[in-house]
Amino acid sequence: MPMLVWIAAAMLASSLPMAWWAVSADRQLTRRVSRNLADYQPTMREAVLERSATERFVLPLMRSVGQRLMRFTPIGWIDSKATTLAKAGWTGRISPEQLLGAKLILPLVVGSVLALRLIDNLTIGSLLTTMACMLAAFLIPDLLVQTKADRRAEEITILLPDVLDQITISVEAGLGFEAAIDRLVASEKHALAVEFGRMIQDIRMGTSRANAMERMADRSQVEDLRSVMLNLRQAEMLGVPLARSLRAVSADMREKRRFRAEERANRLPIKMMFPLGLCILPTLFIAILGPAVISLIEIFG
């Protein structure tokens, strides 16, 4: 019996320091976490305050308004605007809901500003001007997005042959397809390099190369790029060497670019007829025939 008492006392005595150590360790951990949070909170606040007023107020407001208006939009409108935003390269920056909110907020802001001028002088002309400005504000977001999308698609079309040549040279030098695109993305910052970078990210996330190429073609909405991706997918399925397929595709794209440049050059004379007939020729007639007309008026006048 005394032996059991001594063993129990020894176990109790040894457990007390361990309990104290556990409690103190928790307290130290709590103090460390509190100190880290105290140091981290001002950093988060500064990070939020460093964001522009557009990111903190305007974009959330447009998103909130757009989400409430989505139920009134036609079927397929959101999908079509998402496709246009992806073509413009604004995926992740502006959502279709924000674009829809901008189409409502901008006319209201423009109408409110112009309505202040109508209070003192309300006329039919000023009212029509206000309505025209509100209509323009309603159409401006779509116009800006579509213009950006068209310019980006044209940039991708122009850069595609040169980019394919760079990838071909890298592949022929011994790099793999993904490594060649990584090298391109690291050295270039244009729109096509960004699209290739997103394709590589999709592949690294587990998407197959064929699906990643298809997504890239769907985002860009460029027919030449879609044709290139289709040819590369077929070459991969048939076992054709990638370097040979890239060389053939790049040659085809350079030929298309040359034909496109010749087509634009052939359209120039037709486009020159309108400014030539409306602006240049009347000026020449005035400069040449003007003195003769003045002389005839003096003679017969």
CATH of the domain at 213: 1.20.81
Domain boundary (111, 129, 147) is at 147
Query: Do both 206 and 175 map to the same domain?
Result: yes
Query: Do both 252 and 160 map to the same domain?
Result: yes
Q: Report if residue 197 sits inside a domain.
A: yes
Q: What is the pLDDT along the chain (301 residues), one digit of tens a residue?
A: 455 445 545 555 554 554 444 444 445 556 665 665 555 454 555 655 566 666 666 777 777 777 777 887 887 888 888 888 888 888 878 888 888 888 888 888 888 888 777 777 777 877 888 888 889 989 999 999 999 999 999 889 888 888 888 888 888 888 888 888 888 888 888 888 888 888 888 888 888 888 888 888 888 888 888 888 888 888 878 877 888 888 888 888 888 888 888 888 888 888 888 877 778 778 887 888 888 888 878 877 6
Query: What is the torsion angle, in degrees rounded to the nearest 10, for the CA atoms of residue 90, residue 96, residue 98 and residue 101?
Result: 140
Query: Do both 164 and 108 map to the same domain?
Result: no
Q: Report if residue 272 sits inside a domain.
A: no
Nearest alpha-carbon partner for 225 in 203, 204, 256 = 256
Q: Report if residue 283 sits inside a domain.
A: no
Query: Do both 120 and 175 map to the same domain?
Result: no
pLDDT for the residue 143: 92
Write down the number of H helices and E strands in the chain. 12, 0
Query: Do both 243 and 180 map to the same domain?
Result: yes
Q: Determine the structural domain holding residue 82 and report its residue range.
A: 54-147
pLDDT for the residue 8: 47
Query: Would you say 250 and 165 are in contact if contact means Cβ atoms under 8 Å apart?
Result: yes
Query: Do both 136 and 183 map to the same domain?
Result: no
Name the DSSP class of 185.
Answer: H
Domain boundary (147, 169, 201) is at 147
pLDDT for the residue 151: 92
pLDDT for the residue 32: 63
Q: Report if residue 85 sits inside a domain.
A: yes
Domain boundary (95, 121, 147) is at 147
Query: Do both 235 and 167 map to the same domain?
Result: yes
Q: Report if residue 269 sits inside a domain.
A: no
Query: Do both 135 and 213 map to the same domain?
Result: no
Query: Do both 106 and 189 map to the same domain?
Result: no
Query: Do both 136 and 166 map to the same domain?
Result: no
Angstrom distance (rounded) from CA 253 to CA 255: 5
What residues have CB less than 8 Å from 220, skipping those under 6 apart?
Answer: 87, 153, 156, 195, 226
Query: Do both 70 and 127 map to the same domain?
Result: yes
Query: Do both 128 and 191 map to the same domain?
Result: no
pLDDT for the residue 37: 52
User: Number of folded domains in the chain?
Assistant: 2
Q: Report if residue 88 sits inside a domain.
A: yes
Instruction: Report the amino acid identity of residue 170.
Output: S
